[in-house]
Structure 1
């Protein structure tokens, strides 16, 4: 091979390696979005906290360790902190159950007249996501990490739900 050809080949090879290095660097810096909840966004968490206090805390208790209200229906609903089971579900399931009220029949009181409301009638999708983001923001790091591992398993379902929500249909 002629020296000029070797120089061109070397420059081309170096350029190709540079492009690969830049692309790999960008890919490694971006973590895949596996969940739906913006639990690190202070604005969203603030909105969710207000809604949680007015719509959820009377039965589920406060997320600051306070107990359910004295006049809460008996039995009161499970807590949404690390002692409850919310964190065991992927984000899309939490969203769907909250919106649809599917769990309403499981949340009846002893006299059967109070149940978890179907929040689709009371809250819009954004508000439901805000509340769930607030709830997630209160979990200890270890609990959030475990829930995120569950989200990774269900990344496709979370992505499909995100797409539906972004396109105005859910």
Structure 2
């Protein structure tokens, strides 16, 4: 897991071998089983989680407020977690990580803006196709009801779209 994390970081910033070795001390591994919660609404988010993406109720994590989100595993998952305290120490001890997180935050903002625009301007079918094109493997692994929820559509609408696309 840590090897994947370091590879991901190095795709965005120049992380030295010394910093990579130090980075490992800030994370710990956790396994979740399918449907197990990482975070429940009302709790304070104490960790980020990593599996190609950073997963968090960011407001709760940064501002130490109660979470508005539930985060649970939709499949058995191996996670790397970093506590808020370690996140703060990490960015001080390894300055390039501050830049790395800034890049992630910028990308996240762009993604959220794009998702909002697609949500406001697109038909249900366009929303679905956009999500499938941007994350084809995720679309295959996630239950249709969760895809519908993510897109702000009913499960029936997603089923109709999928059936229509199958017969085109």
TM superposition score normalised by structure 2: 0.25
More strand, by proportion = 2
TM superposition score normalised by structure 1: 0.24
Larger RCO: 1 or 2 (CA < 8 Å, sep 6+): 1
